[in-house]
Amino acid sequence: IKGIAFLLPKTATAADQAMLDEALFQLNTLKLGALGELSLRRVDDEADEMWSLRWRQRFAVKSKTWQSATPVVCDRFPKKNLPIEEILARSVERIGLPRPINIEMAQIGALKGSAPIRAYASLENKQLANRFRTHATLHFATPVRGPISIGAGRFLGLGLFVPERNIAERGA
């Protein structure tokens, strides 16, 4: 595990943020059952040496193009009268963003080191079993601010998007 992020809803107050910060400040281990425990350290978002953990600089920026870092698990199964692009567009609108002007799909994400969709099978649970999955690139008419996380697996780390300026070509 490289990092853990907690996203509060847009309706969260400063008091909610303070309560979460205090609770997280006290968290120093993560119990993984039979796998043991993981030691945790708090990351200074601005100064940490690990670029991937610089949350505000990596995910909370504006961009016209966003690429999935983890596959999107669709909340509906595509049909003839409900194409995958429409399902993804509605998922984007559901989180309060404008409708993308174009959506591209792929089995492997564009990020360097991105794993194929089947590599995420270990994140399965009953609610996600047998749902359609895809990597996607979202194109907007104007820049939108992240973070962006969509789809049925968004609360499990799936459907997380990275802005275009952070997209690196896949290694050969």
80-100 tens-digit pLDDT: 899 999 999 999 999 999 999
Residue 74 backbone dihedrals phi, psi, to 5 degrees: -70, 145
In order of 64, 125, 162, the CA distances from 55 in angstroms are 18, 27, 11
Beta-carbon-side half-sphere exposure of residue 129 (alpha carbons within 13 Å): 3
Q: Between the CA of residue 34 and those of 28, 37, 38, 123, 153, what are the distances in Å?
A: 18, 9, 12, 17, 24
* Cβ proximity of 79 and 127 under 8 Å: no
Better-scored residue on pLDDT, 113 or 2: 113
- 170: DSSP letter: P
- Taking residue 27's Cβ as centre, other Cβ atoms within 10 Å add up to 10
Confidence band, pLDDT 50/70/90 cuts, at residue 28: confident
pLDDT above 70 (res 9): yes
Phi, psi of 93 (to 5 degrees): -65, -35
pTM of the model: 0.70
Q: What is the pLDDT of residues 122-158, one digit of tens each?
A: 555 677 777 889 999 999 999 998 889 999 888 777 8
Residue 162, Cα to own-chain centre: how many angstroms?
8
Q: 84 phi and psi, to 5 degrees?
A: -55, -40
